[in-house]
Amino acid sequence: MKISNILSTIAILALVSGCTNKIVEQDVSTSNNIAVNNSIQKQVIKDVKIQEVKNVEKTPTINLKANEIEFLEILKNDKYASICGSEADYQNILQLDNPTEKSKKLEELFYEYTKNLSNSCINQSAFKKELRKRKYRDANQDYEVYNVDINKEKLLEKFSSNTQSVSSILETYTPKHPQFFALIKKLNDSSLSQSKQDKLRLNIERLKLLKYSNSDNFIQLNVPTYNFAFYEEGKRTKTFGTVVGAPDAQTPVLSSKLAYFIVNPTWNIPDSIAKSSIIPKALKDRNYLRKKNIVIRKNYRLDSKKIKWGDVKWKKYLKKNVKYIPYKFIQLPSRTNGMGRMKFIFPNDYAVYMHDTIGTWRFKSSKQKIRFTSHGCIRLEHPVSLMKYLSTNYTKYSYKKVRGIYDSQKTDTIRLNKKLPIHLTYQTAQVNNGKLSFYNDVYGYDKIQKLNF
C-alpha cells in the first residue's frame, strides 16, 4: 500500500472518531488526539518505508550456491570493473524470485563478466578500423592487443561446481599490473569531470589488453609519461626517463620478453634514417661518414661486400617514391655511436628496441618536443643501471665480467637465461603515491579508442 493512501485513511478515521464525541470532550481532548494520531501516522510511515526497502532489497542469496552468492557480492561494487554493458542484466537478476532462473542468468552474466575482464570493454573492431584509416594516411601507428579465448563450457563448469571460488577463477583473467586495482579505486572519485572519468575508465581497460605472464617481475615503458619502470614482485622499485617515438614515428604498444642485450653494438641504420639523414649529410660533407665511423655494405653483415661512397649515385635514393635502398649503412662501435654503448633486444614485428644514447641532455627536459623525438625505439636515461640489474639477476655472468666487456669496447652479446617480460604501454592515467594523474594524449589514442558501453 502506498504511503499517501495510508495517510488518507488515517485522516478519515481521525475525523470519524472526532464526530462521535461530545463537543465539550472534543475541546478537552483535541491536543491529545492530535498527538496520538501523529504518533500513529509516524509509526505507519516508518513501517511502510521498512517494507518498501525490503521489497527492493530482497535477499538474493536464498537457495543460491556459494559461488553465486560470491559473484553477487563482486557485482555489487563491480570489483573488477567488468560489468560494462551488462548493468541492466545485473539489475534484472536482483529482481528475480525463482532460484533456478536466477542461477541460469547468473551463469550467463559470469561468462560475459569474464570476457569483459580478459578482453576489455573497448570497442576493438571500431579501434582497428580507425587504425587502418590512419595507416592509409601514412601515419605509423601500431597497437597490439592480446585477447583470450575463453572456453565457455569449462568456465561455467568451474563456476557451477563450487570446487573453486569465483575470485580464484577470475584471477586467471585479471591484469597482473598493480595499477589495475589502483585505478579502479579512483572510479568513485566524485570530483572528477565526466571527461576524466571516461579517460580513467579507458586506461583501466587498456591494462586488460596487455599480455601477462606468471611473473610479477616485469619492465614497463609507458609512452605518455616517457619513463621506464622496474616491477619486482608486483611493486615498482626503480624508474628513470626515456625518449620515445615522435608523433610521426611512434613507439608501438606491445608486450614481449627481453631476450638479450648487446654491449658496444653496431648500429644497423634503417633505410628511412639513411634516406632522411645520413645520405643528405654525406652529400654535403664528404668526410661525414668517416667522422661518424659509418661504413657501407651490401647488407647488414660487416663481412659482406664493401661499398665505396663514390661508386653509387645516391641522389636517386632521396626521391619520395623510393622506399628501399640496396646498400646498408652501419655505424661501428664507438663512444659516438647513435645506439650509445648498449642495445636491449625483445622480439617484436616493428624492429624496435631499447638503447643507450649520446643525447643525454634530452632527459633533463620535460618538454614533449624534446622527449618525443626518436624513430620509434626507446632511448634510456640509465642503460648501465639496466645492464647491471640484468647481469646480476638474469644472466650466467657477474656484473664485473659484463662491465669488463663494456669497458673493452668490444662487441658482445649477453643472453638472458630467464626472459624478462616487458610492456610498452600507452597509459594516460596513473596512480602515483595514491594520487591520480593524467597525461597528454600525444598519439591520439584517447580519441579513437571508445568504450563499448
Q: Is 237 helix (H, G, I), strand (E, B) or coil?
A: strand
Q: Are 103 and 64 in contact (CB under 8 A)?
A: yes
Chain-centroid distance, C-alpha 420: 19
Best CA proximity match to 329, nearest among 269, 276, 247: 269
Cα–Cα distance measured from residue 248 to residue 302, given in angstroms and rounded to the nearest whole number: 31
For residue 432, the number of C-alpha atoms closer than 13 Å in the C-beta half-sphere is 10
Cβ of 12: how many Cβ atoms within 10 Å? 9
Cα–Cα distance measured from residue 358 to residue 302, given in angstroms and rounded to the nearest whole number: 23
Which residues are catalytic, by number?
355, 377
Q: What does the angle CA 353 – CA 358 – CA 364 come to, to the nearest 5 degrees? A: 95
CA distances from 46 to 9, 35, 54, 313 (A): 16, 17, 12, 94
Cβ of 284: how many Cβ atoms within 10 Å? 8
Cα–Cα distance measured from residue 366 to residue 267, given in angstroms and rounded to the nearest whole number: 27
Best CA proximity match to 374, nearest among 271, 242, 267: 242
CA distances from 129 to 29, 126, 136 (A): 80, 5, 11
Residues 6+ apart with CB under 8 A from 345: 258, 259, 260, 261, 262, 353
CA gyration radius, the chain: 33
Cβ of 19: how many Cβ atoms within 10 Å? 8
CA dihedral for 354, 357, 362, 368, sign (positive or negative): negative
Crossing angle between the packed helical segments 3-19 and 23-56, to the nearest 10 degrees: 160
433: which DSSP letter? T
Q: Is 19 helix (H, G, I), strand (E, B) or coil?
A: helix
Q: Is 168 helix (H, G, I), strand (E, B) or coil?
A: helix
Q: Which residues face 438 on adjacent strands? A: 429
Q: Would you state the cell numbers that stand for residue 118, as one nine-digit string?
A: 580478459
